[in-house]
Structure 1
Amino acid sequence: ASAETTMHTNNWAVLVCTSRFWFNYRHMANTLSLYRTVKRLGIPDERIILMLVDDMACNSRNKYPAQVFNNENHKLNLYGDNVEVDYHGYEVNAENFLRVLTGHHEAAVPRSKRLLSDEGSHILLYMTGHGFKELLIMVDTCQAATLFSQLHSPGVLAIGSSMKGENSYSHHLDSDVGVSVVDRFTFYTLAFFEKLNMYDNASLSSLFTSYNPTLLMSTAYYRTDLYQRKLEEVPVTNFFGSVMETIHTDLAYRTTRSRKTSETKMPLQQSVEHDERRQLINSNVQDQTSDTKIEDKQCPFTRRWNAFQDKLEKIERIDSLVNYGLIIMFPLLLISTWLSL
């Protein structure tokens, strides 16, 4: 139904804070300010989807726990008792955001997290954050160029499948499915990228010039006046490929730090070894003291026998052992001779 014939029956609000970390406190305050406003003007919580990527109210650096303010007089606590956050933390991501807008949720997602709008709904979409460095908008629709006329932000590059007054067409029909399965603009975009890998240096200019009006059956439209760089110098992987953030470290600082760490460990290790030796010496002294006390309690014969055993344990030569044997046998020989008389 057209906007003129459909009755306006309800309003919805999707409020998104895309920033995390304490220094982005203001972005959460922005979102909660809009949240409070739409509730005050009559939109109930069941028709508000609130997405907060971080919880500034409970941050350890917050001087006012469980409170968020948008004014230095601190008169209005935006984080009152009636705040209902639908998506928080890592739930706030591109996938869930798109699922909210398109309604393509998993079965387990409750109704409170869904945008249950209908043909009579007006929807407010509010987003706050740091935005982007560069943005490439690619649209495959009929009269796609008309979507770019109100763009004014620097760093934006736009490409559409058709000019104003032109239609965009499907590429081919799947007889088994019974419908067309891909549009021409998207089909030839994919054909361009299928020839590339992540290490190729194909430029955005080569992508834009690859569209053939005869094959598209429409004229691809480009808007480049807001984009500061030359398309010939920008690889397509700047938008379509992965980029890795490299964190540079100071090698000299790392070397100094490791040297200080080793110097710290050495005295500690020496101290430990010294303590171990001291404990060992104390243990030996204690053992010797305890042995002396035990010897004092023994009889003279037992002490002599123990001393004799200690001497035997210290014998290292066979000759000495024989001599000790003869010494022991001599008294026995005298006794046996005396008894035989």
Structure 2
Amino acid sequence: MRSGSRGARAAPIAALLALALASALLPPPRAEAAGTGARGARRAAAAAAAPPGSHTSNWAVLVCTSAYWYNYRHMANTLSIYRTVRRLGVPDSNIILMLADDVACNARNPHPAQARDAWGERSWGVAAERVFNEERHSLDVYGRDVEVDYRGYEVTVENFMRVLTGRHDPAVPRAKRMLSDAGSNVLIYITGHGGNEFIKFQDQQELMAGDVADAVAQMHQKGRYKELLLVVETCQASTLYSRIKSPGVLAMASSLKGESSYSYLTDYDVGLSLVDRFTFATLDFFEKVDAHSAATLGELFSVYRFEQMDSHFGFSAENFHRPLDAVRVTDFFGHVTEVRQLAGSYPYAGDAADGGGGSGGSGSEESSGGGSSSSSGGSGSGDGPAAGAAPAPAAAGVKGRLSGGPAEGGGEWGAPMDALTLGGIAGLIALVAGASLAWGGGADAS
């Protein structure tokens, strides 16, 4: 019995040794923090060397601070701006969308969610929620491809401040973070109910003008933007940015102090207004803008008229260093793509199934806002690698696929692992585990 208990005690020890051995041999995980590694250093260097007026990425934070059915238009405002920046090239990975998300499937909505297939026909598939911003109902601004990052009770003043300043709990996923840097142009759009130097968050909290100024100041100190455009659609909207003193900030508002911001028309089918006047004028302007447009913010500002909005358009450019006629609207509502030419060649080992063809040559690394990169070499044929490129050994391709990192060593993953190394680890673990079981089992049998 003593020998049996000795074997039982030895089994956990052997298992722990096996786990320790495996953890020592496995490569370290990839760092997820923004701005770390060689890529982060390249971004910082590019931002520092960029001439005035140029930027390396675009980010958008779109916030609907209202909730409940009677604030339908505020949700439509936010989704309409979301559709605009998406159409002009900003990817979902660079958009933080904060939305109560309680209108599309509301029981009072005469146009509830309908299941549709990829061609827009009704089907038994996933239901697509429906929200419209004009009385003809020709455009559903919600649809199935909207990615809401913060919804319902998550839309709070605290979460909004954390998104701007980057002060998140480690458990917050990457998709809910704004990973901007000193080369990023940032668009912040806020709509809801407000007053003198405040805007309400779902009738429970208030975001003050001082809070906004503090958040922007922290963003400047931490290098989280190059230029920032703040757009506010609420009553007395201009007071929300009145305390901002940070450089590189341009702000625009639907109304001045003491003025209300009004809705646009009423849809008698829905029973509510579908959009606000300021946002409607903004959308009407952007209908004529594409990703390559030369339209400027000066032209955009000229479309806001008191006769149309019943309020005076306001803006603040005292902290902005460029003339408005030199700032394209796509500098904030669009997206910039950075392409860098890489020296050398990118090795590729063709699979046996495609005849063992290879490709090589100089490639380019393309970074779109969020920092995703891809490398592409010159095209090759099935006869072998392209002229001038050294043939890549098959083991390099195996290593790249097994490690999940680059085919060559020294990347963010550390040294890659081949099939032999993985097999050796598995064999050692099995050997130690088998020996411990045999020892414990034999002792119990005796």
Q: Which structure has greater strand proportion?
A: 2
Relative CO higher for 1 or 2, CA cutoff 8 Å, sep ≥ 6? 2
Q: TM-score scaled by structure 1?
A: 0.42
* Higher helix content, 1 or 2: 1
Q: Which has the larger radius of gyration?
A: 1
TM-score by length of 2: 0.33
